[in-house]
Structure 1
């Protein structure tokens, strides 16, 4: 059984909490839209969101451990902590701890594959069916190589025909046996950054376990982008010069009813750039 883990940022760290809640609700509806209903969703939060959704598929957990400040984080990864943005380190540590707590609860439920999903992204409605049909004890999992990028309010998607896992975190489905649940009193980043380091996750799985994740054979997700993340993607979406205009034409895909149904893509009331 596949379990989707959603780590929700704190109200304090959100630029627009009402928007955060709307994006989260759309994400959860996208997950609930799975064709095969053999799955669970775990939402881990510090501040409980106001949601209109009720489903036995959705389990909500308040993260029970104290927030870690920058000075308390042992960033024991190859890049020096001092070279990284303070807010990024704190935010990723908070996210990683919530993800791993969700993984702990997913294992208790007997979920044998786990996928972290950012609280604003959308997924293909056949993910659960695919995992159910193709998963087994020896299969380490998959990564989403192909996906779409959506600029809120537009009527098109931007196709990402390869390397989606390098630009978006909602891209890995991992066998439970490969996920080591840490001591939650630990302050070491390495204990919590498995899913956070999505650009290197495939390499880590291979390095640590000599097992290779396989690419998902279809466009698996929609990355919701704004002017507040992935500025190079956002610049492309604006088509503000001739080069970007032709790139946009080549990679654009008009949003159809079929795509909306496949990913649960609907416009929300509020958005910002």
Structure 2
């Protein structure tokens, strides 16, 4: 019997990590967040290179080891950004493919970045609406690592990779890893922005999830996006300080990190990593 959601967690090559101990700590929290689902009808796959030191995983998680080389363009270059994004899509996409092929009979897949958090209600909701093509998380939260505030982002699926739940057959998985083209890997598996339009054009639009389904962690040293902290990202920078109406709108989007949010997403509270 197919499990409702298989969570796919691609982990970068250890040589591409600025701080592996921090990555491991963040990944431990992501694992706990996934395992916090109110329904147990799920599985999860972590894809990491041979030799990478990973945390212990609870029941429901599998670890798939790969031998992909480090991404030589992992750090955002000053020059050609498209080369950077192309290399990122290939590196992430082939890890995702290995994970999906490990459990090819899932009902739905959700790709989760190794430092983010997901709502405990995802599996229950998807199981109750299992005829749909999938969902995009339109509203999600942004959390500054170690902070006490969440920012409600209303275009989350174009901002964070942990934002799509897609019916497995729509990926058109190849029979083997070797049968997948680079274009397929980069477009269908390595880009959370491209696949939504592709599916819509084919007549399989993703519906907005009717609740905030994930939390994007920002502002930590290992963040691949080099994201600043929450305050600098949405408040104390020249763009927003010169636009008071946008600054006020952002203030109104803040949510205190209450115990209810912490319990739903398993966001750690009370300990700052700064």
* Counterpart contact for 1:93–1:189, Cα < 8 Å: yes
Partners of 1:154 and 1:165 in 2: CA distance: 22
Quick one: distance in 2 between partners of 1:192 and 1:268? 40
Contact 1:40 1:57 in 2 (8 A): yes
Q: Secondary structure at the match of 1:56?
A: coil
Aligned to 1:156: 149
5+ unaligned residues in a row in structure 2: which ranges?
A: 74-78
The two structures, once aligned, show a CA RMSD in angstroms of 2.7
Asked if 2 retains the 8 angstrom alpha-carbon contact of 1:143 and 1:213, the reply is yes
Q: 1:100 — aligned with what?
A: 97
The equivalent of 2:76 in structure 1 is none
In 1, Cα distance between the equivalents of 2:140 and 2:265? Answer: 11
Alignment partner, residue 142 of structure 1: 135
Query: Does residue 1:30 correspond to 2:46, yes or no?
Result: no
Given candidates 199, 215, 219, the residue that maps to 2:193 is 199
1:192 is paired with a residue whose SS is helix
2-side partners of 1:40 and 1:150: how far apart? 25
Q: CA contact under 8 A between 2:120 and 2:264: conserved in structure 1?
A: yes
Check whether the contact 2:142–2:152 (CA below 8 A) recurs between aligned residues: yes
1:89 aligns with 2:86: yes
Task: Quote the residue 1:131 is aligned against.
Answer: 126
**1:67 Cα shift?**
2.8
Matched-pair contact (CA < 8 Å) for 1:19–1:271: no
**SS of the residue aligned with 2:125?**
helix
Deviation at 1:48, TM superposition (A): 2.9
Deviates further, 245-254 or 217-226: 245-254
1:114 aligned partner:
109
Aligned partners of 1:58 and 1:268: how far apart in 2?
28
For the residue of structure 1 that corresponds to 2:262, the secondary structure is helix
Count of residue pairs brought into register by the alignment: 254
Partners of 1:70 and 1:86 within 8 A in 2: no
Structure 1 residue 33, shift from structure 2 partner:
0.2
- 1:9 equivalenced with 2:4 (yes/no): no
Structure-2 separation of matches of 1:264 and 1:45: 23
Please say if residues 16 and 70 of structure 2, whose CA atoms lie closer than 8 Å, have aligned partners that are also in contact. no
The change in CA–CA distance for 1:216 and 1:248 in structure 2 (over 3 A counts) is same
Matched, 1:168 2:168: no
Aligned equivalent of 2:182, options 178, 189, 201? 189
Instruction: Tell me by how many angstroms 1:235 deviates.
Output: 2.9
Structure 2 length normalisation: TM-score?
0.83
Q: Could you tell which deviates more after superposition, 163-172 or 178-187?
A: 178-187
- Distance in 2 of aligned mates of 1:130 and 1:119: 23
The equivalent residue for 1:41 is: 44
Q: 1:12 aligns to what SS in structure 2?
A: helix
Change (3 A) 1:69 1:42: closer
Give how far 1:94 is off. Answer: 1.2
The 1:143/1:60 distance shift into structure 2, 3 A limit, reads same
Q: Name the CA shift for 1:91/1:185 in 2 (closer, same or farther; >3 Å).
A: same
